[in-house]
A = this chain, B = another copy of it.
Amino acid sequence: MSIDRRTFNEDLGLRSGAVCLLPVMNSGKGNGAVNSRYSGKGLQLSFEAYELHLNHVFTIASYSRTSTPVMLVKIEWDGLVGYGEASMPPYLGESHETARKFLKGLDLNQFSDPFRLSEILTYVDSVAKGNCAAKASIDIALHDLLGKILDKPWFKIWGYNPEDTPLTTFTIGIDSPDVVMEKVKEAAPYKILKVKIGKDTDEEIINTIRKITDVPLCVDVNQGWTDKREALDKIHWLKEQGVVFVEQPMDKCNLDDMAWLTQHSPLPTIADEAIQRLDDVSKLHGAYSGINIKLMKCTGMHEAHKMLNVARSLDMKVMIGCMTETSCGVSAAAQLSPMVDWADLDGNLLISNDPFKGVEIVNGKVVLKNSPGIGVMKI
């Protein structure tokens, strides 16, 4: 264990923000390399486009893809580096181009105190509408930086217990029975599987999986069902097959039918496409049993944590999910996981070129590290 540079400097009377005249003893925590551009003043933002390669072609009710564009972000301050990520599956409307434009337009250098998190994120949110993944990349990098300054992981700063992390689901996309069987075998270490359904092969997929394993399943319909009574019949059948909840059964705008379905459903219904940010949570109360929080949709950890608190106070279930992401985004989301009912944090397990090492899944359960910030290391 090496000397904590922050304390080391402060002991010598050098306050954060002062120009550092000392040789830097880099602790190696989170690869906190010193940026030669560091001016001793504001936050230094840098970013890099990256393409995630998926292990399998990924198919949901509406389309297929083999890769996901992400933007890898760094915020440097006082010799520490916070890492962030924007994952941008194309159907959400963001891209390398939009993220580059958004991030280039930010002036984080105006902020000399990263603890002004609320002010910084309010500024970031005000620069342009949308761009939620790009906004999340800043939020995550700031949290990583702050956690490193505080020398604690965020689950600790929030007061949560690492043992309370849930099992994580492993996602099985829509595919031919042969491919589904192969994927389910690959998913053997997981204690709960998330099955993408919502096309005309729902029963076939579930039956195929049930030939191999009897682990609990959850299903993600991705708005694939159109008739509420038919949806209810399907949910009854799914319950008999050992399914524990149903994600986004119908169109995200159809709140009336969803309220009816939730009222009659023997399984909890979880909003995914229907939920984006904090303001949506109370609007969905009554229409869904719970929400799936994703950092890339809600602009990051700060807002996600509020969403969690609001959902809990409304007696709603909470799931924490992700896109296909590196271990950076997934480890950030995992900080919240001790407080959720279910986690769907397999995004980094679906890719072959993860540039980070972070949260791990051991025996199907999210295992948080005691490393500061979001707990990731660049490989």
Chain A residues at the B interface, C-beta cutoff of 8 Å: 1-4, 7, 10-11, 13, 115-119, 121, 146, 150-152, 156-161, 278-279, 281-282, 302, 306, 309-310, 312-314, 338-339
Q: Label chain A's interface by main secondary structure.
A: helix
Given A11-B3, A11-B4, A150-B150: A118 touches B160 (CB 8 Å cut-off):
yes
Cα distance, A317 to B51, chains bound together (Å): 44
Cα distance, A3 to B281, chains bound together (Å): 45
Contact A118 B161 (CB under 8 A): yes
Given A4-B7, A4-B11, A150-B150: A161 touches B116 (CB 8 Å cut-off):
yes
Contact B115 A313 (CB under 8 A): no
Instruction: Please indicate the chain B residues that have their CB under 8 angstroms from the CB of A314 in the complex.
Output: 282
Instruction: Please indicate the chain B residues that have their CB under 8 angstroms from the CB of A278 in the complex.
Output: 313
Instruction: Please indicate the chain B residues that have their CB under 8 angstroms from the CB of A146 in the complex.
Output: 159
Cα distance, A309 to B339, chains bound together (Å): 16
Instruction: Please indicate the chain B residues that have their CB under 8 angstroms from the CB of A309 in the complex.
Output: 306, 309-310
- Shortest Cβ distance from A155 into B: residue: B115
Cα distance, A158 to B312, chains bound together (Å): 19
**A42 → chain B closest CB, angstroms:** 16
Contact B115 A152 (CB under 8 A): yes
Inter-chain pairs besides A306-B309, A309-B309, 16 sampled, C-beta below 8 Å: A1-B11, A1-B13, A4-B7, A115-B152, A115-B156, A115-B157, A117-B158, A118-B160, A118-B338, A118-B339, A146-B159, A157-B157, A282-B282, A282-B314, A306-B312, A310-B310
Contact A152 B150 (CB under 8 A): yes
- Shortest Cβ distance from A118 into B: residue: B159
Q: Could you say which of B2, B11, B279, B302 contacts A313, with CB atoms under 8 Å apart?
A: B279
Cα distance, A4 to B146, chains bound together (Å): 18
Instruction: Please indicate the chain B residues that have their CB under 8 angstroms from the CB of A13 in the complex.
Output: 1
A selection of 19 A-B contacts at a CB cut-off of 8 Å is A1-B11, A1-B13, A2-B11, A4-B7, A4-B10, A7-B7, A115-B159, A116-B159, A116-B161, A117-B158, A118-B160, A118-B161, A119-B161, A121-B159, A150-B152, A157-B157, A281-B313, A306-B309, A310-B310
Total identical chains: 2
Most chain B CB within 10 A, of A7, A157, A282, A313, is at: A313
Instruction: Please indicate the chain B residues that have their CB under 8 angstroms from the CB of A7 in the complex.
Output: 3-4, 7, 151
Closest 7 CB pairs of A and B: A117-B159, A115-B156, A7-B7, A118-B159, A310-B313, A306-B309, A4-B7
Cα distance, A313 to B156, chains bound together (Å): 25
**A303 → chain B closest CB, angstroms:** 10
Cα distance, A102 to B306, chains bound together (Å): 31
**A5 → chain B closest CB, angstroms:** 10
Instruction: Please indicate the chain B residues that have their CB under 8 angstroms from the CB of A117 in the complex.
Output: 158-159
Instruction: Please indicate the chain B residues that have their CB under 8 angstroms from the CB of A339 in the complex.
Output: 118
**A283 → chain B closest CB, angstroms:** 10
**A158 → chain B closest CB, angstroms:** 8
Cα distance, A309 to B160, chains bound together (Å): 18
Cα distance, A306 to B311, chains bound together (Å): 11
Instruction: Please indicate the chain B residues that have their CB under 8 angstroms from the CB of A279 in the complex.
Output: 313
